[in-house]
Amino acid sequence: MREEQGLTEDEKADGWILSCVRVAESDMSLEVEDLSQLEIPPVKTFPCRISKLDKLTPDTVAVGLRLPPGSDLNFLPGQYIEVIGPSGAQRHYSLASAGASGRPLELHIRAVPGGTLSEYWFNQARLNDLLRFRGPLGTFFLRDVAGTNLIFLATGTGIAPVKAILEGLQHISPEQGPGSVTVYWGGRVPSDLYLDVTKIPGKHRYVPVLSRAAGDWKGFRGHVQDVLLKNRPDLGAAVIYACGSIAMIRSAKKALLEAGLPSNRFFSDAFTCSAS
Ligand SMILES: Cc1cc2nc3c(=O)[nH]c(=O)nc-3n(C[C@H](O)[C@H](O)[C@H](O)COP(=O)(O)OP(=O)(O)OC[C@H]3O[C@@H](n4cnc5c(N)ncnc54)[C@H](O)[C@@H]3O)c2cc1C
């Protein structure tokens, strides 16, 4: 069951639920972050056509989705969409670029062996295929980050929304912007880190981390969350955005909260199985 995959026994005992797959059966009180200061764009269903299918690695593809002229899609960098595949299967994918403004949307999709939509993207999809998606969705977008040390932790295609947020930072005034930006991106081997983060516009420090690097790798080894903590960040001013595998997010949250990070300064999007 989905709930089993997404929550640990401790989290369940603490009363956590996955609100994306649960409905209330009786009155309840919720602890909710107040996002009323932000203009969150409405969720709608849009038709689109595939405009790009570029292999980034043997198991990662960059997909472009072109919307009909005049489509009124708005989204905040970091949000994701729910693609409705040809068979009707619905899967979530983060938007990898900051704004639509007439340009195609970009997704970075990693193949999951035997996966329904992975089979489509990697073996059947063709340019100009007609699809639909629902969005924008999610709350993995920047809050007030003025003067903070903004730190991103990403694994695999978790870099996609980070890329969108970095691009979006270009449009924030220096007074509202973070004091510093650091991106930790983890993979197993060098080819997993499929884009050059230093080429994304903006002033950010990039820390690539590999867990199964060969002997000639001169960068950091291990997991992004461990490398971050070894680098002794100033957690008093830090805001963390973590995206990618649930294992990384869980481990990072636990370690950072234990090290003193307030829980309201840790934001995450876990790329869990999004099959309904
Ligand atoms: C908020 C959100 C954003 C996401 N954004 C992205 C993104 O930008 N890029 C991207 O590549 N993926 C992303 N995902 C994951 C994506 O939505 C799909 O779940 C994933 O691609 C698998 O879909 P599938 O149809 O190929 O496999 P499915 O048919 O759904 O699954 C096949 C088998 O693989 C298992 N499985 C499914 N997903 C995973 C997984 N992530 N890890 C391990 N096993 C899995 C299933 O339990 C099942 O047994 C996101 C997920 C969420 C929840």
The per-residue pLDDT for range 113-130, each reduced to its tens digit, is 999 999 999 999 999 999
% residues pLDDT > 90 (the chain)? 79
Mean pLDDT of the chain: 92
Is any ligand 1 atom within 6 A of the Cβ of residue 51?
no
Nearest CA residue ID for atom 14, ligand 1:
271
Residue 216 clears pLDDT 80, i.e. is over it: yes
CATH number for the domain spanning 158: value is 3.40.50.80
Is any ligand 1 atom within 6 A of the Cβ of residue 163?
no
Predicted pLDDT of residue 276: 64
In angstroms, the CA 115 to CA 118 distance is 5
Is residue 164 situated within a structural domain?
yes
Is residue 253 situated within a structural domain?
yes
At residue 37 the predicted structure's pLDDT band, cuts being 50, 70 and 90, is confident
Predicted pLDDT of residue 3: 45
Pick the atom of ligand 1 nearest to 80's CA.
Answer: 3
Is any ligand 1 atom within 6 A of the Cβ of residue 225?
no
Predicted pLDDT of residue 61: 98
Predicted pLDDT of residue 1: 38
Mean pLDDT value of segment 238-259? 96
Nearest CA residue ID for atom 24, ligand 1:
115
Is any ligand 1 atom within 6 A of the Cβ of residue 133?
no
Is residue 114 situated within a structural domain?
no
Give distance in angstroms: CA of 241 to centre of ligand 1.
Answer: 20
Is any ligand 1 atom within 6 A of the Cβ of residue 164?
no
Is residue 119 situated within a structural domain?
no
Is any ligand 1 atom within 6 A of the Cβ of residue 271?
yes
Predicted pLDDT of residue 182: 97
Residue 141 clears pLDDT 50, i.e. is over it: yes
Residue 2 clears pLDDT 70, i.e. is over it: no
% residues pLDDT > 70 (the chain)? 97
Mean pLDDT value of segment 165-194? 95
Pick the atom of ligand 1 nearest to 89's CA.
Answer: 25
Give distance in angstroms: CA of 85 to centre of ligand 1.
Answer: 13
Is residue 3 situated within a structural domain?
no
In angstroms, the CA 90 to CA 75 distance is 19
The per-residue pLDDT for range 82-125, each reduced to its tens digit, is 999 999 999 999 999 987 677 899 999 999 999 999 999 999 99
Q: Which of 5, 195, 274, 276 to mutate to test the pocket of ligand 1 (most atoms within 8 A of CB)?
A: 274
The per-residue pLDDT for range 149-161, each reduced to its tens digit, is 999 999 999 999 9
Distances (CA, A) of 18 to 23, 68, 138, 275: 10, 34, 13, 14
Is residue 215 situated within a structural domain?
yes
Q: Give the global pTM.
A: 0.92
Q: List Cβ neighbours of 163 (8 Å cut-off, separation of 6 or more).
A: 96, 97, 195, 197, 200
What residue numbers bound the domain in which 260 lies? 149-270
Is residue 120 situated within a structural domain?
no
**Burial (CB count <10 Å: 0-12, 13-18, 19+), residue 40:** middle
Nearest CA residue ID for atom 17, ligand 1:
92
Is residue 205 situated within a structural domain?
yes
φ, ψ (nearest 5 deg) of residue 227: -65, -40
- Number of structural domains (the chain) is 1
Nearest CA residue ID for atom 27, ligand 1:
115
